[in-house]
Amino acid sequence: MKHVLTIAGSDTCGGAGIQADLKTFSAHGTYGMSVITAVTVQNTQGVFGCQDITPEIIGAQIDAIFDDIDVAAVKIGMVSQIDTINTIADRLEKYKPEKVVIDPVMVSKHGFDLLQPEAKDALIKRLIPLAYVLTPNLPEAEVITGMKIDNIEAMEKAARKIHEMGAKNVFVKGGHLENDATDILFDGEKITMFKSERIHTKNTHGTGCTISSAIAANLANGMTVEEAVSSAKKYITVAIEHSLDIGKGVGPTNHFYALFEKAGLKYE
């Protein structure tokens, strides 16, 4: 069993962040480990507060894992402060994990800033060059590139521009476009398009965390980047299709639907 590490924030209601990452790792047959960068106060209705973990503790958490356990892949999510970003980048440069998937989390679905504005440049300069796969949605890609992205052609241009910033593979998620859900992958040479029918549901909490974690787990299990993304896309589509109507707001995706189906159990 491969060991996969998530470096991200904690979500109290379990649909995103560290909790979603660990569920996704388990659903893909990998062993999940975690480094917590922040503790958020949130539920399905929004994010109401955040306490960042000190860079010293973040660095110590990373050291504790790499000093003891083989890490097949790393997923990075919420990193809100410059010092946090620099600490993580320093450790990645020290331990040199190859398969690093970075989900550049910037703003929650309810508009809460999860990346401090002054930390954007640090994210671009320190973390993006260390990404084996970067997974921005359209608003995140717009912030990173300074471009307006409202069609497939603009997505492709953005992916190429982000690749020039150092990311080896760029997976731009097109969920904010209208019509079908179309994502693109640029590996430095070719563009690969992934299409799926749009699922009409309000329950999409944690989709970005989940698909990036699925990509990391798939890479750990030996898939190529294109295979990892394709499989992750199918996984998140099923998880959204059978999402959970929990709480009064935006519910989470269903991370274990396929496993429960195979076991003859209901988890809806």
Active site residues: 173, 204, 206-209
Alpha helices in the chain, H assignment, sequence order: 17-27, 55-66, 82-95, 120-122, 138-145, 152-164, 207-220, 225-241, 257-262
DSSP 195-244: EEPPP--S--BTHHHHHHHHHHHHHHTT--HHHHHHHHHHHHHHHHHT--
Contact 9, 114 (CB under 8 A): yes
Contact 80, 119 (CB under 8 A): yes
DSSP state of 111: S
Q: Which residues contact 28 (CB under 8 A, 6 or more apart)?
A: 214, 217, 218, 221, 235
Q: Which one, of 35, 33, 27, 31, lies nearest residue 2 by Cα?
A: 31
Helix, strand, coil % over all residues of the chain, rounded to 5: 40, 20, 35
Contact 71, 97 (CB under 8 A): yes
Give the Å distances, CA to CA, from 170 to 196, 203, 212. 19, 26, 12
Token code pair at residue 63: 């050291």
